[in-house]
Structure 1
Amino acid sequence: MNPLFSPIKLKGLTLNNRIVVPPMDQYSAQDGLPGNWHVMHYGNLAASGAGLLIVEATAVEAPGRISPQDMGLWNDAQEAAHKHMIDTIRSYSATPLGIQLGHAGRKGSTARPWEGGKPLPADGAGWEICAPSALPYAPGHQTPAELTTADIARLTRSFVASAQRAVRAGYNCIELHAAHGYLMHEFLSPLSNVRADAYGGSLKNRMRFPLEVLEAVLAAVPANYPVGVRVSGTDFVDQGWNVQECATFAQALEKAGAAYVHVSGGGLAPEQRINLAPGYQVGLAAAVRASVTSLPVIAVGLITEPELAASIVVSGQADMVAIGRAMMYDPRWAWHAAAALGQTIAAPSQYLRCKPHNVKDLFA
């Protein structure tokens, strides 16, 4: 069996293969509620054959949204809507479903990408935003309010409450969003965190908030329930968060009981310089994996070809691979990867007859 198609355990959850559909924001919710678009979108991806499907970044409070159309999980109506979506998907797919819980921090209150993505003023269509320090993301963006220690404690409770809602709604795992320049990442990076208290300065202090959230969430969910963390391996900016610091953070996540670490990159500052190429962030995942003992690592970053995905797992650079944009472009990517690599994969009974005649033993 090709290792890409071998099972893996994330605490109490067993995945059938190492292919992960990562969170990809849809900016299509109303009042934070997942709707028909989400049922269709995630239902389609749940038939992909991937080992795990992680639902998009979902805010733990209204001011934590990126855009007004972000999904949320801070009230009963949202919890019920998530449960309805999950129950609908569950009626035909056994694919494990995770959810990414996050807070936009200083990158909140913006328009949707296809509407320009510009910052929305607090006195207009937007809202007041917050961050570890009163530093705007970029010129023209709001200057965020600096969080007090009381605010930090309140936000930790918000993450816990949303995590408990996620469990009740039926999600199989939770991913905490500490990447791409959003709130937890803002605490981690010295470019966005210039605090002088216990949450700023040293690496230990900058890691404090995300670790407190992880520990509080783990204490609030059932034993052996998987809670992973998405990280940016680097800011791609000089003097910013780097892969060495990320590796230390991963070691702390492992010690705290995280189920996995999902290694991406960038997003914190518009000054970032990234050289895009196939697998351009895999080296970050490999460095993190080399620093931990047994914490599973997910690699991501322009992984589009089955052979590249398989080589990442075979070579030990990561334990799983996340196929994002390529999966949206081709929602049957995992089927095609199985066919290319001579593997067997699960598919809905309704689709079994679509197998090409020249491909043997594709569907389980």
Structure 2
Amino acid sequence: MTIPPSLRSLLDRLHGHLLGTYGLLALAALLFLVFSLTLPNTFPTQDNISSILSNQSIPAILALGATIPIATGKFDLSIGYGLGLAHVMVMQLIVDESWPWPLACLVVVCGGAVVGALNGVIVEFGQIDSFIATLGTGSIMYAFTGWITDGARIVPGPNGLPVSFTDLYDSRFLGLPVPAYYVLTVAAVLWLVLERLPLGRYLYVIGSNPRTAGIIGIPTRTYSVYAFAGSGLVVGFAGVLLAAQQQTGNPSVGLDYLLPAFVGALLGSTTIKPGRANALGTVVAVAVLAIGLAGIGQLGAQFWATPLFNGGTLLIAVGLAGYSARRRLRGGATTTRRSLAEPSAAPANDSHP
């Protein structure tokens, strides 16, 4: 039986849509199944699942923060440095300055938003490429981190940190670690902003075609600054959680989170909403990374396996994103050619002279 060309084209588009939308989610389920069968006594256990959710909460939140500027076509390379500075500032204010921990956390989170807005101002009004600008501001943040700590760790006194502060990371709710709920909350808020509010639509328009956005009246510079400010706000929150987790101020720890965050954000742009950065896709991508890293770790992989996995996945993510963009362009061009080739649908003129 010969399949008509129109039906074959429809099936091909449907297959491509399903693969692009849900392929990464299926990969996460497949990885979990494979590691569960390979490591039946350790991997599919509640303790292991809780450990994955807890350990990957900060990278997931940071990846969600990186997703916001990516929606506008910009990149914030300062998020790793910002994370390190934020968690050190929390420890500095609580341990050395004796601030109440809620006030210290609030100041740091708001400070993260201010720093993010400054990044946006430098990129948009200074007309500096986002890679270069945020790399430069990140280096300045790293310098501030070293100046605050004098290159040493900030360690609490004999009484330690307030229990209510450490519970921000250590506590559990309904059998799951509380940080997992933070990830879900941040992802839900970001999904609402990007998918349901005018702000998100403006950011996507700016990311797809800044010139068109300006022509239709969107203040592109202002909304790009908003995107960087939102990223900084999320980074500040992640820094608070990192301080509650580490319970010391380590001036160099933030850099370890930079690559996983961008891997999650870029890989997330290839799923759920293929071709554009989106919150749900980022969560799915982080889940794939978390399951993969946990599995190879339990299989006894060497210490260098983690950066190898992250770097390889980043290359794959960028390649898939580029392929998805080229495929959409080809699809649009094909549709245009078909429209031009079709005969006019205008009614014929039946009048006679």
TM-score by length of 1: 0.28
Larger radius of gyration: 2
Structure (1/2) with the larger strand percentage: 1
Structure (1/2) with the larger helix percentage: 2
